[in-house]
Amino acid sequence: MDKPRILIAEDEKNQRDLLEGFLKKEGFSVESAATGREALVKLEKDLFEIILLDYKMPELDGLHTLREIRKLYPDLPVVMMTAYGTVETAVASMKEGALDYLTKPIDLDELLLIIHKVIERSQLIEENKALKAQLQERYAFSNIIYESLKMEEVIGLVGRVAPSQATILIRGESGTGKELIANAIHFASARSQKPLIKVNCSAIPEPLLESELFGHEKGAFTGATQRRIGRFEEANGGTIFLDEIGDLSPGTQAKLLRILQEKEFQRLGSNTTLKTDVRVIAATNRNLEEVMKKGLFREDLYYRLNVITIPLPPLRERREDIPLLIDYFLKKYSKMNQKSISDFSKEARNLLVRHSYPGNVRELENLIERVVVLCRGAVITTQDLPYHLQEGMSEMEFAKKEKSLPESLEEIEKDLIVKALQRNEGVQTRAAESLGISERVLRYKLKKHGIRM
C-alpha cells in the first residue's frame, strides 16, 4: 500500500506547520486546514486516508467536525488531537468514531506510531474485504456445478430461503455437498459479512462438544484453566453450521433447543444467561425420523430444525452432472499438481460416468485427484483408473471381493482339479497323475471342495 494522504485540521499555525513539515519529511503527502469547515471542504474535493483533527477549534470544533466526517465517510480513520487530555475528551471522541487520540504537545514518535497502526488496520480491512469478496464469489450459486433437473430444484430452493432468517436442515448422503450448500446460503444472506462458524458434531468427543458449542468458565471442569468462548458466541450476528446433527447427545440437544427457542444459553460452569443472534443451518446423513422413533433424538428439536428442509440427491440420481464434475476436477487438480493433462480417453470417461459412486461427489473428487497425480501421459486412460473402477464395482465391493492368500490358493486349486478332470473325461486316476498327486489325495480334495464329476 502506498503511503496514505493525510489531512491536518489544526487552528494553531505553528502546530500545523510543525506537523505538516514532519510528516512530509517522513514521505507522506500532506495538506492542512485551519478550521473544521475548511477541512470538510477539502474532504469534499479530494481523497484522504487519515485525518488529524484538533479537538478545540473556532466556529466548528473537532467533535462536531468528526460527526460531519462520519456522515460522509463512515470508515475514514480520524485521530483526535487535544490539549485537554481528560478521560471525558477521549471517551467523547471515541464514541463519535475517532480511531485514536493524541494529547498536546504532540509526541512526534507517538504520532508516527499511531499513523503506522492506522495503515496496518486499513490494510487488514482491505484484505478482509477482498477475502470476503473471494468467498462470496467462490460460494456463489453460479459456482455450484450442475445441469440436472434435481439440482436445479435444489438451487432454486436455496435461492428462495437464503435471504430469510429460517433455520435450515440439509439432508443427504455423505459426500453430496451439504457443506457447500450451507456456504452458499450464508454468503447469499444478509449475514454474509458476519462469521460463518462450522462444527462437525460427530468429530468432537461428547464430553468436549458442549464446551465447543457453548463455551465454559474457568474451573468448570478438570482442565478448564481459563474461560473459553463457545462457537455460538463467535457466530453472533452470523451463521453456525452444525454438521452431523443426528449425533448430538440428549443433553446437548436440550441446550440447542433452548438457543433455537429463546436465543439464549449459558457457558458451562456459569449461571449467567447470554443472548446470541445466530442462524442455524444443520445437516445430517442419518434418517432422523428413525432415530427419533428409537428415542435418541428429541421430537421438539426435530421440528425446530426442520423448518426448511433441503434434500440433496445422491450423485447416482443426477448422472447428467457427472461429466461436468469430471471436467471441473480434472482442471482443478491438473493445475494444482502442475500436470498437462488434457482429457480422459473415451473408454475411461465412460467408466467414470457409469460408476455408482456410493461416496457421491466426494468420492468422484478424490478419484480424479488420485488419477491426475499418478497419470504419466497427457490423456488419462482406463489403465490409469483404479482396478475396482475397471471391474465396475465400488471400492467397498472391491474390498469385499478381495480374498486372503489361503482363500485365493484354494480357488486356484479347485479350478485346476476341475480342468484336469475335464481333460481326462472324469477318470480320476489319469487326472491325479496329470496333477502330480495320488488318487487318494485327489479323492480327499474332491470331497473338500465339493466337486462331483
User: What pLDDT does 395 receive?
Assistant: 56
Q: Give the domain CATH number at 426.
A: 1.10.10.60
Whether 380 and 409 share a structural domain: no
Span 238-269, pLDDT tens digits: 999 999 999 999 889 999 999 999 999 999 99
Picking from 383, 390, 444, the residue whose alpha carbon sits closest to that of residue 413 is: 444
Whether 300 and 433 share a structural domain: no
Whether 205 and 286 share a structural domain: yes
Whether 420 and 324 share a structural domain: no
**Interval 359-365 mean pLDDT:** 94
Instruction: Decide which of 311, 332, 350 is a domain's last residue.
Output: 311
Q: Which of 88-97, 224-233, 235-244, 383-392 has the highest mean pLDDT?
A: 235-244
Residue 137 lies in a domain: no
pLDDT > 80? residue 401:
no
pLDDT > 60? residue 411:
yes
User: What pLDDT does 290 receive?
Assistant: 93
Residue 141 lies in a domain: no
Whether 165 and 98 share a structural domain: no
Retrieve residue 424's grid coordinates: 481326462
pLDDT > 70 in the chain, percent: 91
Whether 29 and 70 share a structural domain: yes
Q: Which has more pLDDT, 32 or 3?
A: 32
Round to whole Å and give the CA distance between 302 and 287.
Answer: 11
Residue 42 lies in a domain: yes
User: What pLDDT does 397 receive?
Assistant: 57
Whether 337 and 412 share a structural domain: no
Span 114-169, pLDDT tens digits: 998 888 887 777 765 665 555 455 555 566 888 888 988 998 898 899 999 999 99
Q: How confident is the model at residue 222 (pLDDT cuts 50, 70, 90)?
A: confident
Instruction: Decide which of 385, 401, 417 is a domain's last residue.
Output: 401
User: What pLDDT does 326 receive?
Assistant: 94
Residue 303 lies in a domain: yes
Q: Domain count of the chain?
A: 4
Whether 89 and 12 share a structural domain: yes
Interstrand relation of 274-275 and 264-265 (parallel, antiparallel or unpaired): antiparallel
Helical (H) or strand (E) element with 197: strand 196-200
Residue 374 lies in a domain: yes
Q: Give the domain CATH number at 152.
A: 3.40.50.300
Q: Whole-prediction pTM value?
A: 0.60
Retrieve residue 438's grid coordinates: 495320488
pLDDT > 70? residue 48:
yes
Q: How far apart are the first and last CA of the chain?
A: 88
Residue 359 lies in a domain: yes
Whether 152 and 300 share a structural domain: yes
The helix/strand/coil state of 232 is: helix
**Interval 183-209 mean pLDDT:** 90
Whether 70 and 195 share a structural domain: no
Q: How confident is the model at residue 352 (pLDDT cuts 50, 70, 90)?
A: very high
Structural domain range at position 427: 405-449
User: How many Cβ atoms are within 10 Å of 247's Cβ, its own excluded?
Assistant: 19
Task: With beta carbons less than 8 A apart as the criterion, state whether 144 and 318 touch.
Answer: no
Whether 30 and 88 share a structural domain: yes
Q: Give the domain CATH number at 322.
A: 1.10.8.60
Residue 201 lies in a domain: yes
Round to whole Å and give the CA distance between 370 and 248.
Answer: 34
Round to whole Å and give the CA distance between 414 and 423.
Answer: 14
Residue 138 lies in a domain: no
Helix, strand, coil shares, percent, the chain, to 5: 55, 15, 35
Whether 189 and 55 share a structural domain: no
pLDDT > 60? residue 1:
no
Instruction: Decide which of 261, 293, 311 is a domain's last residue.
Output: 311
Backbone angle region of 241, left / alpha / beta, with phi > 0 → left and psi within -120 to 50 → alpha:
beta
Q: How confident is the model at residue 403 (pLDDT cuts 50, 70, 90)?
A: low
Beta bridge partners of 283: 170
